[in-house]
Structure 1
Amino acid sequence: MPKPGRLYTILFVISFVFVVYAVYVNFIYDPQAAGFLSHKTDLKRPLNVPVWLKIMNVHVVFACIAMLSGLINFSNRIIAKHRKFHRINGYLYLVSVIMVDLTSGFMAPYSTGGKLNSIAFNMLNIVWLLMTVTAIVQIRKKQVVKHRKWMIRSYAFCFTNMCIHLITAFLHDGFGIAYSTSYTIGVYGTIVLLPIAAEVVIRTVFRKPPLIAVGY
């Protein structure tokens, strides 16, 4: 595994590229989400597209904020020299997670792949929020090591959308598997892979305790 500094650089590049890509696709290239909506067939309830698009836009914006704010707060420089900013940014991350969960909850009943994926998204939203709240509770108790571990677990889920679509594209475009089936495998595969990735990072890259305790 790469060292913490190198891993941070890798995450920075991946996060920045993904945020630029998400903004471009959702607000410039396909603001009506025609490509994505074309895969939503056999819905059990009518989809109000204008409302769905507005909720989707809010979802994308806060998902991007969560990804960037979470990344910033893993910076050793920010932790060491800008504790107040670290604390405020941490609460921005929490608010962003809540907004992503709320908007995802609205869109879950219209999930590609049907009820099976709707349930998965709702469960993921609950787990993600619980992890994030747990991280904040731990730092308020001055449990810095536990705080960092729970933040790593929480932050891993910022890559949910990216991971789902990578798996979906791999299966659908690479092997010709039906899009809805590929998407379902992507959803459940992501739910399994991201927590495993977080634990690997915790047990290999961040084995040593943080240099300082963050004052809350």
Structure 2
Amino acid sequence: MSSKAALRWLAAAAAAAVAYVLYKSYLADPQAAGFLALKPPGQGPDKLGSWLAVLQVHIAAACAATACGLLGFAPAGRRTPRRLNLHRWNGYLYFICVFLVCLTSGYMAPYATGGKWASVPFNLLNMLWPAITLLAILRARKRRLAAHKRLMIRSYAFCFNNMTLHLFTGLFTGLLELPYAAGYAAALYANIAFLLLAGELAIRMLRVPRDEGGRA
């Protein structure tokens, strides 16, 4: 697949994901009543107001990360020194958004539907995603641009975590008829594995080369 075609598909997927999240979170159900109703007794947040405020920051940061990451893949953004500088600062903003997503997720993880078995993959993702993103920035600063692009593809795959998590949850609860809490917890593990695999497949489909060192 050509880079231009891949970018068009990526832009369409990103726009759909962001539009869905914004509609559901800010218009259809701003109090997250539908989601909270699915939690087993005793697994809801102790302070609902604080939890909702953190959730709103989490959603806004995730949408901003999706937009910044998409802009980072635009080839026109690196053709002149000025645009290269904008690309660099866009990358820093992307990292800040990713960090905020993971920081707020860490606050909400103890209240995850499914208990501690659901908290574990959330916390794993909260460490893995910013680590991959930071490594991508460090590769760029060392002018290892192929490694930087490979790592950014892996990082950006996690921007679709919410969308694919809902798909897996629907699969496990609908098709396999698992209880919601169990299906949601299972979906979390399957989703992380899927997004890691999706990043690797995208790298191979786009034929992103390796640096001379052969790493990343």
- Cα separation, 2, equivalents of 1:41 and 1:89: 40
Q: Give CA deviations for 1:64-116 in whole Å, capped at 9, x if unaligned.
A: 00011001100111122421111111011000011001100000000011101
Matched, 1:91 2:92: yes
8 Å Cα contact 1:4/1:206 also seen in 2: no
Letter of the structure 1 residue corresponding to residue 17 of structure 2: F
* Mapping for residues 134-145 of structure 1, pairs under 5 Å: 134-145=135-146
> Aligned residue for 1:8?
7
TM-score (norm 1): 0.91
Unmatched runs of 5 consecutive residues or more in structure 1: 211-216
Unmatched runs of 5 consecutive residues or more in structure 2: 212-216
TM-score (norm 2): 0.91
Which range moved further: 175-184 or 119-128? 175-184
* Matched-pair identity in %: 38
> Aligned residue for 2:35?
36
- Cα RMSD after superposing both structures: 1.7
Distance 1:209 1:130, change over 3 A: closer
How many Å apart are 1:4 and its aligned residue?
1.8
> Aligned residue for 2:207?
206
How many Å apart are 1:180 and its aligned residue?
1.2
How many Å apart are 1:45 and its aligned residue?
7.5
8 Å Cα contact 2:146/2:208 also seen in 1: no
How many Å apart are 1:47 and its aligned residue?
2.1
How many Å apart are 1:43 and its aligned residue?
3.2
Letter of the structure 2 residue corresponding to residue 166 of structure 1: L
Letter of the structure 2 residue corresponding to residue 103 of structure 1: T
- Cα separation, 1, equivalents of 2:12 and 2:44: 39
- Cα separation, 2, equivalents of 1:168 and 1:45: 19
- Cα separation, 1, equivalents of 2:45 and 2:68: 35
Q: Give CA deviations for 1:9-61 in whole Å, capped at 9, x if unaligned.
A: 11101111111111111111001100101122143675211111100000000
- Cα separation, 2, equivalents of 1:89 and 1:44: 37
Aligned residue pair count? 209
> Aligned residue for 2:21?
22
Distance 1:68 1:46, change over 3 A: closer
8 Å Cα contact 1:43/1:110 also seen in 2: no
Q: Give CA deviations for 1:117-136 in whole Å, capped at 9, x if unaligned.
A: 11110111101111000000
